[in-house]
A and B are shown apart, each in its own frame.
Chain A
Amino acid sequence: MTTKPKNLHTISFLVANKPGVLVRIAMVFARRGYNIDSLVVSASVNPQYSRMTITASGETITLEQIIKQSAKLIDVLHVEEHTGIDAVDREYALVKIKTTPSTKATILKLCKKFHTHIVDHTDHVLIVSQGGTTEELDQFEGLVKKYGILEMIRSGKLVMAKGKKIT
């Protein structure tokens, strides 16, 4: 498992659903030496606008500039960093695991324990989907790793503000 980046921040954006918006935002991060660790973009309730959740790592003081410079972009309607207290976050993963007759039972037990779904099942290979917090996903990954993860893709964090507050 890769080491977890330090100074990880979760930032949500409400942006105009137009070509080029993602590039403009990515440039604000890249120019200031911020690495984007995960990125989720999808249409919002109003298809004119998109929601983005970006997790990125870097100095907190630089992040303040990144948020202000992103907010200045004409196509950005709203940008906010979420700390975890004011918002909920979830992540989704697809994991392709190698199985053998001797490991299969243990792996299936782990899958059940972590509430994953088996989405494909062939000889010696399982593909499971898992939804949960980033920590739960990390934990599952850590436990099945020794049996052989052939492939994995994670959605990156999805964030939503609690209560009536708009993300």
Chain B
Amino acid sequence: MAVDLETIARLVAFDKGKAVPIASDLQIVIQPDALVLCCIALAGEDTTVHVVACGSIGKPAEFLSVPDPRFRDDQYDLFAWIGQRIEQYYADCRRRGTHPQIWVSSDAAVKHLDVLSDRLRYNRERADVRRLGELLTYATERFPVGGQQALYAATSALRQHYATGQQAAEDAHLGTLLTWIDPPRKTNILAAVALAEQTPMGMKTDPEFDRTKLDPVVRAYNEARRAGASTAQLKRRAQNIHDALMTVVSPIYDATQAAVEILRTRWPRRLLTAPQLQDREAQEFDNFMQSRDNGFFLPTRDKPKAAALKLTEREIALQTVEAAVCIGDRVALAKARLAGRILEGTIENPRRVWVRPRVFESTFDLISSQRVLRIRPRDELILLTDPRQRVLVRNVERQGRRTRVQLEIIKGKNAVGLPSASSIQVFTPYVPDWNSLTQARIQLAERLAVQPWTHAENGAMPQRVPSQLPEPADLLAAVEALR
């Protein structure tokens, strides 16, 4: 197992007592009108929201709570309140032809929104609650897709840019992460982090807080309600609950805003491919909202064909984004180099050999000193600095600490030409192809037009039909050609 850049960065951070950058460019695209949404659930009841803080980035929050989210009507009213704000925001984005972006504090908060969207979009009792579920579904369904811009967890976003001197799992707490990024002066960082950890930053309250502060006031409210107390008394008790919850949700909202501010102000260089990411997101948003306008149903579970499409989309999205990041971000490139996913080295023996009239073969050797290399003969690579050139790996030979890779130019012989001897070149297996998703969708639609027998109801194994084609002379080459 080779040492990776992540480990190095954490070592350096631990040594310095401060988080260090793990990227050179801003890896995400922050929408100037993004919405910060902090919802706190009642412990154990994941489909509730006890209090919510909601506001645009850089702006103070609006707060709303319900005394006890287990009372359905009160809870629905709160959902409707959130729904109004999100509806308005989405409508503004549609008008401007852009896409919405929601920020939450952490991955736990993302999961909470996911649970809510799953449940609420099938609500039969209130259309406004159902609508909230649908709108949230856009963000939560986009979240797992690489390069998406719809929903961000502040912790994940910061982790893409900073490495701390603690375990990756501990970075899931926004408070500790912010402490590492901006440690208090003259304080032991570990002590500061231990203190920060005690403030909840997810979607739940602390059990100790629940026992000593929240439970007594919620009980008092419920007792008063059962006893038929006056409106004034109920209102006062509800205020006690709200005051208690504010001490939880306010810090989370502030911390999330602080995270966005750090990324906005300390990372001036954007990814080169940021515009493409935004365009793609805007397109996805538009498609989603069109489907809602046209009354298309959001299924609980995808059927096999839809699932195949979605899986392919995710794979392609991830590949595209990784390739995009690699091109633009120096740290990502360094990671890829260390992991052997890209090939870098010095050129030797560039040669152009006549094959037949007007046909030449352009080959060269690349000497790499990379410890780890993940390439093999017949792999196709692309020149990082000019994607018009494609090369084919003809041979890979380890020579002590170095590796000699024989390459043949298969595309861009004239457009780009042979590299000069002793120059340093970098080749990558992927470059971002922003059209690949569309092509994949078309291809899959054709291939899956007829449901495969494996997924058909009572699907029987088809009869064997021997191929009429002659057996290939080189079976391995024929298989490789399918790549």
A and B bind: no
Which positions in B face A, CB cutoff 8 Å? Answer: none
Which positions in A face B, CB cutoff 8 Å? Answer: none
